[in-house]
Protein backbone atom coordinates (compact mmCIF):
# COMPACT_ATOMS: atom_id res chain seq x y z
CA UNK A 1 0.00 0.00 0.00
CA UNK A 2 1.26 3.45 -0.87
CA UNK A 3 0.58 6.52 1.27
CA UNK A 4 -1.15 9.61 -0.16
CA UNK A 5 1.33 12.26 -1.37
CA UNK A 6 2.81 14.52 1.31
CA UNK A 7 5.47 17.19 1.70
CA UNK A 8 8.45 15.94 3.71
CA UNK A 9 10.44 18.12 6.12
CA UNK A 10 13.45 17.06 8.17
CA UNK A 11 14.19 19.91 10.60
CA UNK A 12 17.61 19.95 12.23
CA UNK A 13 16.64 21.58 15.51
CA UNK A 14 13.69 21.42 17.89
CA UNK A 15 13.06 25.15 17.30
CA UNK A 16 12.80 24.56 13.55
CA UNK A 17 10.46 21.60 14.12
CA UNK A 18 8.28 23.72 16.43
CA UNK A 19 8.01 26.48 13.82
CA UNK A 20 6.95 23.92 11.20
CA UNK A 21 4.24 22.33 13.36
CA UNK A 22 3.04 25.77 14.38
CA UNK A 23 2.80 26.84 10.72
CA UNK A 24 1.04 23.69 9.46
CA UNK A 25 -1.17 22.90 12.50
CA UNK A 26 -3.35 19.82 12.13
CA UNK A 27 -2.35 19.35 8.47
CA UNK A 28 1.05 18.17 9.76
CA UNK A 29 2.14 14.93 11.41
CA UNK A 30 5.37 14.40 13.27
CA UNK A 31 7.34 11.32 12.32
CA UNK A 32 9.48 9.80 15.09
CA UNK A 33 10.11 6.02 14.84
CA UNK A 34 7.35 5.69 12.23
CA UNK A 35 6.12 2.39 13.64
CA UNK A 36 2.60 3.65 14.22
CA UNK A 37 2.32 6.54 11.76
CA UNK A 38 3.63 4.77 8.65
CA UNK A 39 1.23 1.79 8.88
CA UNK A 40 -1.66 4.27 9.23
CA UNK A 41 -0.46 6.28 6.23
CA UNK A 42 -0.02 3.15 4.13
CA UNK A 43 -3.57 2.09 4.95
CA UNK A 44 -4.61 5.70 4.18
CA UNK A 45 -6.16 5.97 7.62
CA UNK A 46 -3.89 9.01 7.99
CA UNK A 47 -3.08 11.32 5.08
CA UNK A 48 -1.14 14.29 6.45
CA UNK A 49 -0.24 17.02 3.98
CA UNK A 50 3.06 17.63 5.76
CA UNK A 51 5.26 15.03 7.42
CA UNK A 52 7.79 16.54 9.81
CA UNK A 53 10.50 14.03 10.54
CA UNK A 54 11.88 14.63 14.04
CA UNK A 55 13.65 11.27 14.12
CA UNK A 56 17.08 12.78 13.70
CA UNK A 57 16.79 15.77 16.04
CA UNK A 58 19.84 15.83 18.26
CA UNK A 59 19.59 15.85 22.03
CA UNK A 60 16.13 14.33 22.35
CA UNK A 61 17.23 10.78 23.10
CA UNK A 62 18.50 10.43 26.67
CA UNK A 63 17.73 8.98 30.09
CA UNK A 64 19.26 10.98 32.93
CA UNK A 65 18.75 12.01 36.50
CA UNK A 66 18.13 15.71 37.12
CA UNK A 67 16.64 17.66 40.04
CA UNK A 68 15.46 14.55 41.85
CA UNK A 69 13.63 12.96 38.94
CA UNK A 70 14.49 10.82 35.92
CA UNK A 71 14.13 12.65 32.63
CA UNK A 72 13.59 10.68 29.43
CA UNK A 73 13.83 12.36 26.03
CA UNK A 74 10.87 11.79 23.72
CA UNK A 75 13.02 10.20 21.01
CA UNK A 76 14.45 7.54 23.32
CA UNK A 77 13.74 4.16 21.73
CA UNK A 78 12.01 1.34 23.52
CA UNK A 79 15.30 -0.62 23.26
CA UNK A 80 17.19 2.15 25.08
CA UNK A 81 14.56 2.24 27.84
CA UNK A 82 14.73 -1.56 28.08
CA UNK A 83 18.52 -1.54 28.40
CA UNK A 84 18.98 1.52 30.63
CA UNK A 85 21.18 0.84 33.66
CA UNK A 86 19.78 3.98 35.36
CA UNK A 87 16.19 2.79 34.97
CA UNK A 88 17.14 -0.71 36.07
CA UNK A 89 18.34 0.83 39.31
CA UNK A 90 15.80 3.62 39.87
CA UNK A 91 12.66 2.63 37.99
CA UNK A 92 12.92 -0.97 36.76
CA UNK A 93 9.22 -1.23 35.91
CA UNK A 94 9.65 1.13 32.96
CA UNK A 95 12.44 -1.02 31.50
CA UNK A 96 10.30 -4.09 32.17
CA UNK A 97 7.44 -2.49 30.23
CA UNK A 98 9.64 -1.52 27.28
CA UNK A 99 10.98 -5.09 27.06
CA UNK A 100 7.44 -6.34 26.41
CA UNK A 101 6.72 -4.06 23.43
CA UNK A 102 6.40 -5.76 20.02
CA UNK A 103 9.63 -7.34 18.77
CA UNK A 104 13.28 -6.29 18.47
CA UNK A 105 12.70 -4.27 15.30
CA UNK A 106 9.80 -2.34 16.83
CA UNK A 107 11.81 -1.70 19.99
CA UNK A 108 14.81 -0.49 17.99
CA UNK A 109 12.79 2.08 16.01
CA UNK A 110 9.79 3.02 18.16
CA UNK A 111 10.14 5.89 20.62
CA UNK A 112 8.58 6.51 24.02
CA UNK A 113 7.33 9.94 22.91
CA UNK A 114 5.77 8.47 19.77
CA UNK A 115 4.05 5.74 21.73
CA UNK A 116 2.57 8.15 24.30
CA UNK A 117 1.54 10.74 21.69
CA UNK A 118 -0.08 8.04 19.56
CA UNK A 119 -2.14 6.75 22.54
CA UNK A 120 -3.02 3.40 21.03
CA UNK A 121 -5.53 1.74 23.39
CA UNK A 122 -3.34 -1.41 23.43
CA UNK A 123 0.01 0.35 23.95
CA UNK A 124 2.08 -0.70 26.96
CA UNK A 125 3.77 2.47 28.26
CA UNK A 126 0.54 4.33 29.13
CA UNK A 127 -0.35 1.88 31.93
CA UNK A 128 3.08 2.24 33.53
CA UNK A 129 3.35 5.99 33.01
CA UNK A 130 -0.02 6.35 34.78
CA UNK A 131 0.96 4.08 37.69
CA UNK A 132 4.20 6.04 38.13
CA UNK A 133 2.38 9.40 38.16
CA UNK A 134 4.78 10.60 35.49
CA UNK A 135 4.76 14.08 33.99
CA UNK A 136 4.79 14.78 30.29
CA UNK A 137 6.46 17.88 28.93
CA UNK A 138 5.06 19.47 25.77
CA UNK A 139 6.83 22.26 23.89
CA UNK A 140 5.44 24.79 21.43
CA UNK A 141 6.72 28.06 19.96
CA UNK A 142 5.26 29.81 23.01
CA UNK A 143 7.10 27.71 25.63
CA UNK A 144 6.63 24.44 27.50
CA UNK A 145 3.92 23.02 29.72
CA UNK A 146 3.79 20.03 32.05
CA UNK A 147 0.91 17.59 31.77
CA UNK A 148 0.31 15.02 34.55
CA UNK A 149 0.01 11.50 33.06
CA UNK A 150 -3.43 11.21 34.66
CA UNK A 151 -4.75 14.01 32.40
CA UNK A 152 -2.77 13.13 29.28
CA UNK A 153 -4.88 10.37 27.69
CA UNK A 154 -8.20 11.76 26.48
CA UNK A 155 -9.68 9.09 24.22
CA UNK A 156 -8.67 6.48 21.64
CA UNK A 157 -5.59 7.90 19.80
CA UNK A 158 -6.27 11.26 21.44
CA UNK A 159 -4.18 13.07 24.04
CA UNK A 160 -3.96 16.49 25.64
CA UNK A 161 -1.33 17.53 23.06
CA UNK A 162 -2.49 20.43 20.86
CA UNK A 163 -1.60 20.84 17.19
CA UNK A 164 1.66 22.79 17.21
CA UNK A 165 3.00 20.97 20.28
CA UNK A 166 5.80 18.42 20.46
CA UNK A 167 6.17 16.01 23.36
CA UNK A 168 9.77 16.54 24.43
CA UNK A 169 10.28 14.75 27.73
CA UNK A 170 8.81 12.34 30.27
CA UNK A 171 9.63 12.84 33.98
CA UNK A 172 9.47 10.13 36.57
CA UNK A 173 10.10 10.09 40.30
CA UNK A 174 12.64 7.34 41.19
CA UNK A 175 11.29 4.48 43.28
CA UNK A 176 11.17 5.05 47.04
CA UNK A 177 12.18 2.63 49.81
CA UNK A 178 9.37 0.17 50.64
CA UNK A 179 7.85 0.64 47.20
CA UNK A 180 7.65 -1.79 44.31
CA UNK A 181 6.12 -1.79 40.85
CA UNK A 182 5.33 -4.35 38.17
CA UNK A 183 3.79 -4.53 34.70
CA UNK A 184 1.85 -7.61 33.56
CA UNK A 185 0.28 -8.01 30.16
CA UNK A 186 -1.73 -10.40 28.04
CA UNK A 187 -0.07 -10.22 24.61
CA UNK A 188 -1.91 -10.24 21.34
CA UNK A 189 0.15 -13.07 19.80
CA UNK A 190 0.74 -11.54 16.34
CA UNK A 191 1.65 -7.92 17.17
CA UNK A 192 2.53 -8.12 20.84
CA UNK A 193 0.12 -5.27 21.70
CA UNK A 194 -1.64 -5.59 25.04
CA UNK A 195 -5.09 -7.17 24.96
CA UNK A 196 -4.95 -5.93 28.51
CA UNK A 197 -2.00 -4.69 30.55
CA UNK A 198 -1.83 -3.71 34.22
CA UNK A 199 0.89 -1.71 35.96
CA UNK A 200 0.89 -1.55 39.76
CA UNK A 201 3.01 0.73 41.93
CA UNK A 202 2.70 0.06 45.65
CA UNK A 203 4.14 1.86 48.68
CA UNK A 204 4.08 -0.08 51.96
CA UNK A 205 3.81 1.60 55.36
CA UNK A 206 6.23 0.71 58.17
CA UNK A 207 4.01 -2.08 59.58
CA UNK A 208 3.57 -3.65 56.15
CA UNK A 209 0.12 -2.23 55.34
CA UNK A 210 -0.48 -0.65 51.96
CA UNK A 211 0.12 3.07 52.28
CA UNK A 212 -0.59 3.88 48.67
CA UNK A 213 -1.32 1.91 45.50
CA UNK A 214 -1.46 3.24 41.95
CA UNK A 215 -2.77 1.04 39.16
CA UNK A 216 -2.67 1.91 35.43
CA UNK A 217 -4.65 -0.15 32.94
CA UNK A 218 -4.23 -0.38 29.17
CA UNK A 219 -6.12 -2.38 26.56
CA UNK A 220 -9.39 -2.62 28.45
CA UNK A 221 -10.98 0.62 27.28
CA UNK A 222 -10.58 3.23 24.53
CA UNK A 223 -7.90 4.96 26.59
CA UNK A 224 -5.50 3.94 29.33
CA UNK A 225 -6.74 4.92 32.79
CA UNK A 226 -6.04 4.78 36.54
CA UNK A 227 -8.10 2.10 38.28
CA UNK A 228 -9.24 4.37 41.14
CA UNK A 229 -11.66 1.81 42.60
CA UNK A 230 -8.85 -0.79 42.91
CA UNK A 231 -6.58 1.78 44.54
CA UNK A 232 -9.24 2.83 47.05
CA UNK A 233 -9.92 -0.81 47.98
CA UNK A 234 -6.23 -1.28 48.89
CA UNK A 235 -5.28 1.95 50.67
CA UNK A 236 -4.52 1.52 54.36
CA UNK A 237 -5.23 -2.22 54.38
CA UNK A 238 -3.09 -5.15 55.54
CA UNK A 239 -1.84 -7.22 52.61
CA UNK A 240 -3.48 -10.57 51.99
CA UNK A 241 -4.26 -12.68 48.94
CA UNK A 242 -7.96 -12.05 49.52
CA UNK A 243 -7.47 -8.30 49.69
CA UNK A 244 -5.63 -8.27 46.36
CA UNK A 245 -8.18 -10.55 44.75
CA UNK A 246 -11.16 -8.52 45.99
CA UNK A 247 -9.54 -5.21 45.02
CA UNK A 248 -8.70 -6.43 41.51
CA UNK A 249 -12.38 -7.23 40.91
CA UNK A 250 -13.04 -3.47 40.80
CA UNK A 251 -10.78 -2.91 37.80
CA UNK A 252 -13.42 -2.37 35.13
CA UNK A 253 -15.64 -0.19 37.30
CA UNK A 254 -16.94 2.82 35.39
CA UNK A 255 -15.32 1.79 32.08
CA UNK A 256 -16.73 0.52 28.83
CA UNK A 257 -14.53 -2.43 27.79
CA UNK A 258 -13.50 -2.67 24.14
CA UNK A 259 -14.70 -5.60 22.07
CA UNK A 260 -12.95 -6.62 18.84
CA UNK A 261 -11.79 -9.68 16.90
CA UNK A 262 -9.03 -10.30 19.47
CA UNK A 263 -11.15 -10.30 22.61
CA UNK A 264 -14.75 -9.73 23.67
CA UNK A 265 -15.58 -7.10 26.30
CA UNK A 266 -16.34 -9.86 28.81
CA UNK A 267 -13.00 -11.61 28.22
CA UNK A 268 -11.08 -8.34 28.44
CA UNK A 269 -12.76 -7.47 31.73
CA UNK A 270 -11.91 -10.88 33.17
CA UNK A 271 -8.30 -10.71 31.95
CA UNK A 272 -7.95 -7.20 33.36
CA UNK A 273 -8.89 -8.62 36.76
CA UNK A 274 -6.38 -11.47 36.43
CA UNK A 275 -3.50 -9.27 35.24
CA UNK A 276 -4.23 -6.57 37.84
CA UNK A 277 -4.01 -9.21 40.54
CA UNK A 278 -0.70 -10.48 39.13
CA UNK A 279 0.79 -6.98 38.85
CA UNK A 280 -0.25 -6.10 42.41
CA UNK A 281 1.14 -9.35 43.80
CA UNK A 282 4.51 -8.82 42.15
CA UNK A 283 4.63 -5.13 43.04
CA UNK A 284 4.04 -5.97 46.72
CA UNK A 285 6.73 -8.70 46.65
CA UNK A 286 9.16 -6.16 45.23
CA UNK A 287 8.18 -3.52 47.79
CA UNK A 288 8.90 -6.03 50.56
CA UNK A 289 12.30 -6.76 49.03
CA UNK A 290 13.05 -3.05 48.76
CA UNK A 291 12.77 -2.14 52.45
Ligand X SMILES: Cc1cc2nc3c(=O)[nH]c(=O)nc-3n(C[C@H](O)[C@H](O)[C@H](O)COP(=O)(O)OP(=O)(O)OC[C@H]3O[C@@H](n4cnc5c(N)ncnc54)[C@H](O)[C@@H]3O)c2cc1C
- Residue ranges of alpha helices (H) inside the chain are 14-24, 37-42, 78-82, 85-90, 92-98, 104-109, 112-118, 125-131, 149-152, 228-234, 241-248, 265-289
Site for ligand X contains 280 (CB under 6 A): no
Least distance from C-beta 55 to ligand X, angstroms?
7
Least distance from C-beta 138 to ligand X, angstroms?
8
Instruction: Tell me how far apart the alpha carbons of residues 181 and 97 are, in angstroms, rounded to a whole number.
Output: 11
Instruction: Tell me how far apart the alpha carbons of residues 20 and 105 are, in angstroms, rounded to a whole number.
Output: 29
Site for ligand X contains 35 (CB under 6 A): yes
Least distance from C-beta 274 to ligand X, angstroms?
19
Instruction: Tell me how far apart the alpha carbons of residues 96 and 141 are, in angstroms, rounded to a whole number.
Output: 35
Site for ligand X contains 115 (CB under 6 A): yes
Pairing of strands 153-155, 158-159: antiparallel
Residue choice 127, 166, 181, 280 for contact with ligand X (CB under 6 A): 166
Site for ligand X contains 11 (CB under 6 A): no
Residue choice 34, 83, 174, 208 for contact with ligand X (CB under 6 A): 34
Site for ligand X contains 17 (CB under 6 A): no
Instruction: Tell me how far apart the alpha carbons of residues 112 and 107 are, in angstroms, rounded to a whole number.
Output: 10
Site for ligand X contains 192 (CB under 6 A): yes
Instruction: Tell me how far apart the alpha carbons of residues 13 and 16 are, in angstroms, rounded to a whole number.
Output: 5
Tell me, by CB under 6 A, how many residues bind ligand X.
30
C-beta of 103 vs 241, nearer to ligand X:
103
Site for ligand X contains 201 (CB under 6 A): no
Site for ligand X contains 114 (CB under 6 A): yes
Site for ligand X contains 37 (CB under 6 A): yes
β-bridge mates for residue 159, sequence order = 153
Catalog residues that contact ligand X under the rule CB under 6 A.
29-37, 39, 74, 101-102, 106, 110-111, 113-115, 117-118, 120, 123-124, 161, 166-167, 191-193
Amino acid sequence: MIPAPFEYHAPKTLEEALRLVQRHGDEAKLLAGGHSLLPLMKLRLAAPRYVIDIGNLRGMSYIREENGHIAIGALTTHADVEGSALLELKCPVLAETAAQIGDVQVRNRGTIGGSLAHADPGADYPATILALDAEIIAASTSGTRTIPARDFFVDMLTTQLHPGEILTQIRIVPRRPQSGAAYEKLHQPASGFAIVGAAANVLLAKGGKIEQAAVGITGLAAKAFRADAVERALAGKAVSEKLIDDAARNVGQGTEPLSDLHASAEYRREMARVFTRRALTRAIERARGNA
